[in-house]
Structure 1
Amino acid sequence: MQTRTLGTDGPAVSTLGLGAMGMTDGVYGNNDRAESIATVHAALDAGLTLIDTSDHYGAGHNEMLLGEALRGRPRDSYLLSVKFGALLQPGGGFSGQDNRPAAVKNFLIHSLTRLGVDHVDIYRPARLDPDVPIEETVGAIKEMIDAGYVRHVGLSEVGADTIRRAHAVHPVADLQIEYSLISRAVEPEVLPTLRELGIGMTAYGVLSRGLISGHWSAAGTGRPGDNRGRMPRFQGENAEHNLALVEALRRVAEAKGATVAQLAIAWVAAQGEDIVPVVGARTRTRLSEALPAADLKLSAADLEEIEKAVPKGAARGDRYPTAMMSSVGVGN
């Protein structure tokens, strides 16, 4: 597994990262705990070093799962990217974001305990808190870096102005944000800002929550524990239109001797050495499919064919429900 560096001052990580969110029940369906742990082990054994989670995934379940999976592994063999601050309610639902300095430190001690580690490698607010200046939040993370509990500052789903303000307080290693063939809103302003400042990107949603994986079909909507039916891109005529794009992409992939998922992941990786695709594999089967994407080289002609199959802006429907779109720094 090759490596890439997250920004000028960030760590070297594997070309692909592992996103653990989907291993928590209630996201994309119910999971097998043993299979989830085996998938983490397989990812590490394959050379993936970056693992992404958040303290609100399953109200801490995801971190406890990773804590179990990582037990006994050398601490310097993996890097943990942890998001914090999302406020949950019993019975489900969000009630905002808390990025106050005191809350930063409170969330951190709980994450360290659940993960069973003495530090996290990249610590980032899950979303912007409109009531707390980003400078105060980053200042609190800097204090935790100075104290040895955190190694690097990260950001998630924020726009160019917030990136600049945060970076002025302490160097930011990377921005985690959705980026895929059908989610390209970062290209006009956010991506140039990152490159100007020497900040990396960890791109999540590279398969758009499975929509452009080549495996999802409308027949899967509504199965127990799968919340994708709430998302506009997975609904009705939007889904039909978007699946037609997937079929066009499939023809390009087959000509390249790759799967749709591999081609979509490789497209993100091809957008720059400063971008690390985070793959949300929930099983060893899906992980095994994703791994070859790290070595799939796309020529200029390949990229042109992919663009023809899935033109920029071709997808229909927002990437989140309307209420959630207001919490992200860029649109679709």
Structure 2
Amino acid sequence: MEDLIMQMRKLGQLEVSPIGMGCMGFSHGYGKVPEAAVAIKAIQGAHDYGCTFFDTAETYGREQFYPGHNEQLVGQAIKSFRKEVVLASKIHISTEEYQADHDLYRTIKRHLLHSLENLQTDYLDLYYLHRYNEEIGMAPVAEVMGKLIDEGLIRAWGVSQVGLDLLKTAHEITPVSAVQNLYNMVERSCESEIIPYCLQEGIGLVPFSPIASGLLSGKITQSTKFEGDDVRKFVPQLQAENLAANQPIVDLLDRFSTSKHATKAQIALAWMLKKYPNVVPIPGSKNPQRIIENLGAWKVELTDAEFKDLDDSLNQLKIYGHRGFEESQQHSFSNNWRS
């Protein structure tokens, strides 16, 4: 644990392990989910390994179960060590609910209190706005989040899938601790504006899909089938023609994984940890062994020379089938594009 403490990272003033755990897959998004007991044991196993950052959302579970299913699983799993971890959840506010309520503070607080009940806790460490709703605006949400911080119901707040203008608007009203955006080796739009601003302002970047929905693990092939409630059916990079075209990226990772005695996924995660000190990826998996493997990436140290070789080589490769920030923004909560 002493080595881990040396690696702790900051999301605003929150201290977290260098890699967190995305818990969505236990309720939604990657096909058939495991039994609850298996999910709970996997989350507890991640904590035993040293993970102190767990991510969920109020909406996770509504496809196969009901909204709040994932929060309830996470709450059950972490209740014995709640004070030792940073717990994050997310709120989605529909236009219809907002128009019916006419009181954004009351609306958001109602959502928050329900999440706290699901999570068996009396506060959240990090509360994200899951997706921006232009019918409501960013400034009013930021003002409410400030009030909830003052009340002690949340320690910090964050935004998800936003561009620089929205982030600035939010941060100037109530300082933002974390931005949860799509970021990985093949989706790098955050590097142009979001990451520099976050570095300047002391904001953490929490990449979802840091292994590109499995592409960077090298385990997905053209024969891999995604069935049922599986968001990977809609990821452009995982379409057969793009899998073949993106094989040079997997081959590049394979070269480094062999020399470092690590997996390709670990190299992909180690690359972003080396590149930016404020990045805390949250890979998601249902497989307990894979969860520990992903967390183990914080032990994979790329030398400056290795990182330069990897980064320079990556920059020379063309990416096929971008999912991209703009495309993600265009998909509403009524479809399968969720983090």
TM range (shorter): 0.7 to 0.9
Query: What corresponds to 1:43 in structure 2?
Result: 46
Q: Is the 8 A contact 1:179 1:268 kept in 2?
A: no
Bigger mean CA deviation after superposition, 250-259 or 14-23: 250-259
Q: In the alignment, is residue 22 of structure 1 matched against residue 31 of structure 2?
A: no
Query: What corresponds to 1:11 in structure 2?
Result: 14
Q: Is the 8 A contact 1:5 1:11 kept in 2?
A: yes
Task: Structure 2 unaligned segments of length 5 or more: list them.
Answer: 62-66, 96-101, 333-339
State the 1:239 CA deviation.
2.1
Counterparts of 1:37 and 1:314, CA distance in 2: 40
Equivalent of 2:83 in 76, 80, 85: 76
Q: Is the 8 A contact 1:231 1:321 kept in 2?
A: no
Q: 1:251 to 1:185 in 2, by over 3 A?
A: same
Q: Is the 8 A contact 2:187 2:322 kept in 1?
A: no
Query: What corresponds to 1:67 in structure 2?
Result: 75
State the 1:111 CA deviation.
0.6
Matched residue SS, 2:118: helix
Matched residue SS, 2:281: strand
Counterparts of 1:304 and 1:237, CA distance in 2: 29
Q: Is the 8 A contact 2:189 2:324 kept in 1?
A: no
Counterparts of 2:201 and 2:326, CA distance in 1: 31
Larger strand share, 1 or 2: 1
Q: Is the 8 A contact 2:237 2:320 kept in 1?
A: yes
The aligned amino acid for 2:106 is A
Matched residue SS, 2:213: coil
Counterparts of 2:286 and 2:112, CA distance in 1: 25
Larger helix share, 1 or 2: 2
State the 1:283 CA deviation.
2.0
TM-score (norm 2): 0.86
Percentage of identical aligned residues: 31
Q: Is the 8 A contact 2:179 2:203 kept in 1?
A: yes
Q: Is the 8 A contact 1:99 1:137 kept in 2?
A: no
Cα deviation 1:287-325 (Å, max 9, x = unaligned) = 221122102111222123323553377221132698644
Give the root-mean-square deviation of aligned CA atoms.
2.3
State the 1:248 CA deviation.
2.6
State the 1:192 CA deviation.
1.0
Runs (4+) of structure 1 moved beyond 4 Å? Answer: 320-323
Query: What corresponds to 1:106 in structure 2?
Result: 110
Query: What corresponds to 2:337 in structure 1?
Result: none
Q: 1:53 to 1:224 in 2, by over 3 A?
A: same
State the 1:152 CA deviation.
0.4
TM-score (norm 1): 0.88
Counterparts of 1:202 and 1:322, CA distance in 2: 18
State the 1:85 CA deviation.
0.6
Query: What corresponds to 1:32 in structure 2?
Result: 34
Equivalent of 1:262 in 254, 262, 266: 266
Counterparts of 1:190 and 1:230, CA distance in 2: 25
Q: Is the 8 A contact 1:83 1:124 kept in 2?
A: yes
State the 1:214 CA deviation.
2.2
The count of corresponding residues between Structure 1 and Structure 2 is: 315
Q: 1:86 to 1:236 in 2, by over 3 A?
A: farther
